[in-house]
Amino acid sequence: MAARSVTLGIDLGTTSVKAALVEAAPGDPSGFVVLASCARPARAEAAAQSAAAGPQGQEQDVRRIIQALNECLAALPREQLWKVCGIGVSGQMHGVMFWKTGQGCEWTEGGTAPLFEPRAVSHLVTWQDGRCGSGFLASLPQPESHLSVATGFGCATIFWLLKNSPEFLKSYDAAGTISDYVVAMLCGLPRPLMSDQNAASWGYFNTRSQSWNLDILRGSGFPVHLLPDTAEPGSVAGRTSHAWFEIPKGTKVGVALGDLQASVYSCMAQRTDAVLNISTSVQLAASMPSGFQPVLTPDPAAPVAYFPYFDRTYLAVAASLNGGNVLATFVHMLVQWMADLGLEVEESAVYSRMIQAAAQQRDTCLTITPTVLGERHLPDQLASVTRISSSDLSLGHVTRALCRGIVQNLHSMLPFQQLKEWGVERVIGSGSALSRNEVLKQEVQRAFPFPVSFGQDVDAAVGAALLMLQRNLNKKES
């Protein structure tokens, strides 16, 4: 009896790390079964942020992210891990971290299982980083790309470091997203390899020619040696250079995917589906027809961007910076207020109570525009609360209005009528913030003029595993 084809999917998110084991459904080549999955909080906010970045800096400790990854792998069934024939990796896009070639990690063979731990690495400067203000961004060269450059994008961050911390950049000779780093370490790659999905998320990448804007970047003194090589998403980056937990040495590893594209891949059954992902941030994605090419001139004020997907197709995406992080900010504010009043309460307790209160408050006249982080197309926009009356000040009213505001903000970026014109017939909801918030689900169902179904929290990890599984099966068939 032939060994089953099992693939491992990993998603390195902003707030959590997830892993899933997937195999083909018996008798159904297009179906799949999730054998096991695991999620661990990253708790990776760097204790000491870059002083030069100031309060706008958003950095994460790579060691903590990899620790969470190792905890996920340790929690998966050992008897399934040794059957893994391929590893798919996805993760938060836009961000950048640096490492020294050959010194990026150390493999530990002793202990309960072989694993790697980061060594000569920087912090991860995440997509939430705000150090590149409007003035600084305006000083950067115009990219030859259909996507504009925003703060938190890898190339913008490198430009900022070049100007403000040039000595820092001299310490490293490799760079990538957190998922590119993991792939490079698993495979022992001499140079990092990046999919066009992650490359486009950094800025200064032309998706038509599949190349970096090298002439433009060199002309501005950009350290182009830090740019990774690029490859098609779905291609194999290499093979594991060591046994990893129970996964054998020599196992195929796919080039890292964007977490949005991996989430969409796991749940977009038809081209008439749109996918709504509400995790730390929010993305609403719809598939564009085959052959569609976005206009090459970037428009920083456009709320909808076109992200590279698979097989040279594109997703139309409204990507809001304000999602589950807004709810987390609200909870943190309440906990801080309680502490100022001399009372201690756990954030988890506050979260569950406020959702319960909002579930009982079916409607409200209170209006909250939740853009505490601005938006990439409106970086200076702040949040606001309007239509305040004495009867709408309960926790239930405010939480209901906050959840509604998150959905309405997305609607302002991509009107749902536009989805209808694109032929969308169904919305599939996914993401951690949506899966555990019944009120947010209600507001999504209220807002969309389509049927809405809700997926699993581990979508991006499943998507990364599923892509590896299907590409592997396709190769066997051919």
Per residue in 346-382, pLDDT tens? Answer: 999 999 999 999 999 999 999 999 999 999 899 889 9
Tell me what the mean pLDDT of segment 298-324 comes to. Answer: 93
Does the pLDDT value for residue 186 go beyond 90?
yes
Does the pLDDT value for residue 457 go beyond 90?
no
Predicted confidence at residue 174, as pLDDT, reads 98
Per residue in 246-282, pLDDT tens? Answer: 999 999 999 999 999 999 998 888 899 999 989 899 9
Distance in angstroms (rounded) separating the CA atoms of residues 17 and 97: 17
Tell me what the mean pLDDT of segment 329-358 comes to. Answer: 97
Tell me what the mean pLDDT of segment 52-59 comes to. Answer: 88
Per residue in 119-147, pLDDT tens? Answer: 999 999 999 999 999 999 999 999 999 99
CA proximity to 171, closest of 263, 101, 271, 96: 101
Tokens of 199: 């490359």
Lowest mean pLDDT among 156-165, 196-205, 298-307: 298-307
pTM equals 0.88
Predicted confidence at residue 258, as pLDDT, reads 97
Residue with the two structure tokens 């499943």: 462
CA proximity to 184, closest of 78, 62, 75, 77: 62
Tokens of 375: 């938006």
Does the pLDDT value for residue 3 go beyond 70?
no
Highest mean pLDDT of the ranges 28-32, 174-178, 300-304, 474-478: 174-178
Predicted confidence at residue 2, as pLDDT, reads 45
Q: Do the strands 84-91 and 6-12 form a parallel or antiparallel pair, or are they unpaired?
A: parallel
More confident residue, 285 or 298: 285
The angle subtended at Cα 411 by Cα 279 and Cα 376, nearest 5°, is: 65
More confident residue, 51 or 21: 21
Average pLDDT taken over every residue of the chain: 93
Tell me what the mean pLDDT of segment 145-172 comes to. Answer: 96
Predicted confidence at residue 244, as pLDDT, reads 96
Per residue in 104-124, pLDDT tens? Answer: 999 998 677 899 999 999 999
Does the pLDDT value for residue 288 go beyond 70?
yes
Quote the percentage of the chain above a pLDDT of 70: 97
In angstroms and rounded to an integer, the radius of gyration of the C-alpha atoms of the chain is 22
